[in-house]
Amino acid sequence: MYDSKDPRAALKAASKPAQGPFDAASVARFYAETPQESSALCRTWYVRGQNFIIGYSQCEAGAVLEHQTQPDEYMLLLPERDTVVAVTAGGETQRMEGLSLVCVPPGASRVEVLNAGPVYRLISTQSADLAALCSNAGSYATPHAVVAPLQAWPTPPGGLRLRRYSLDVPLVPGRFGRIFRCTTFMVNFLHAMEGQRDPTQLSPHHHDDFEQCSLAVSGAFTHHLRWPWTVNKLHWHEDAHEAVGAPSVCVIPPPSLHTSEATGPGTNQLVDIFSPPRRDFSLLPGWVLNADDYPMPEGNADA
């Protein structure tokens, strides 16, 4: 149900019939919850979806985030311009400025915080040790049947290595947000909204078989969700209106109808995260800003 001026109106509508049972949304309000890891220089919260883990770390200078057994590629999100880190992975070390997205190859990695700020790691649930730490781990004790499994996309022609992408990308009419992908994730760093969203211009829609992770990095939002009615009333859910501040995560399950409404008086910044990458976004010319680095699966070349 996109407005005709919304770039997503060009997408082919999802069409699978809803069967049920359906899963509830998962919400993590990091600002109001106890971190799963804590040290003198860093506090870290974890929340998950079916295929992904979001690790949010509030770090002081000198903090180090290490993982020795990363099985696949992950992403590092630095949403604030002043944050600076040094990332070591794949046999190299690079200084990474803030307001950027970093692709990190599998294997051992080390992130040293040089200038304080929030650090988000986007990691697949192949990292079982981190999945076990998630605040909502119990919700995924049994896999959610509606969600398609993660299948990694093709390796870049130049191989997996450290790659940094600036998020300082201007708004372009007809393109939705600022979209990047790797082999395991797609990230849409949406343009910030100043003040509240016009309640007459919302965008309720649904996905057939993938979760949407809506990460609020500043401001406040209400995530509105509605589940289909089927012939089996036992599968019905009450509508949900999850009011959140930042930082927070809402994992939106398929096939719930959903839309997010900015409600804060200042800057409201949302990041949409998907695992694996979305094919529909990838097929629209110019939408994926690093498409030249990360090819689509064979038979699904970029338009």
Q: What is the pLDDT of residues 118-160, one digit of tens each?
A: 999 999 999 999 999 999 999 999 999 999 999 999 999 989 9
Domain with 37 in it: what CATH number? 2.60.120.10
Asked whether residue 215 carries a pLDDT value surpassing 80, the answer given is: yes
Q: Is residue 300 part of a domain?
A: no
Q: Is residue 95 part of a domain?
A: yes
CA nearest neighbour of 79 among 107, 140, 121? 121
Place of tokens 């719930």: 256
What's the average model confidence in pLDDT over 245-256? 98
pLDDT for 19 equals 82
Q: pTM above 0.85?
A: yes
Q: Is residue 138 part of a domain?
A: yes
| Domain extent at residue 253 | 7-282
Q: Is residue 289 part of a domain?
A: no
What's the average model confidence in pLDDT over 7-13? 66
String of DSSP letters for 130-194: HHTT-TTGGGGSS--TTSPPP-PPPPPTT-S--EEEE------TTS-S-EEE-SS-EEEEPPPEE
H helix or E strand, kind and range, residue 24: none
Asked whether residue 229 carries a pLDDT value surpassing 90, the answer given is: yes
153: Cβ–Cβ under 8 A, 6 or more apart, which residues?
181, 182, 183, 184, 276, 277, 294, 295, 296, 297
Please tell me whether residue 5 adopts helix, strand or coil conformation.
Answer: coil
* Strand-pair partners of 188: 179, 272
Backbone angles phi, psi at 130, to 5 degrees: -80, -35
Asked whether residue 161 carries a pLDDT value surpassing 90, the answer given is: yes
114: Cβ–Cβ under 8 A, 6 or more apart, which residues?
61, 84, 85, 86, 95
pLDDT for 216 equals 98
pLDDT for 303 equals 43
Q: Is residue 195 part of a domain?
A: yes
pLDDT for 128 equals 96
**Structural domain total, the chain:** 1
CA angle 187, 183, 204 (to 5 degrees): 35
23: Cβ–Cβ under 8 A, 6 or more apart, which residues?
139, 144, 146, 253
pLDDT for 168 equals 97
Please tell me whether residue 10 adopts helix, strand or coil conformation.
Answer: helix
* Residues 4-26: b if buried by 16+ CB within 10 A, e if exposed: eeeeeeebeeeeeebebebbebb
Q: Is residue 53 part of a domain?
A: yes
At residue 12 the predicted structure's pLDDT band, cuts being 50, 70 and 90, is: low
Q: Is residue 303 part of a domain?
A: no
Q: Is residue 297 part of a domain?
A: no
Asked whether residue 209 carries a pLDDT value surpassing 60, the answer given is: yes
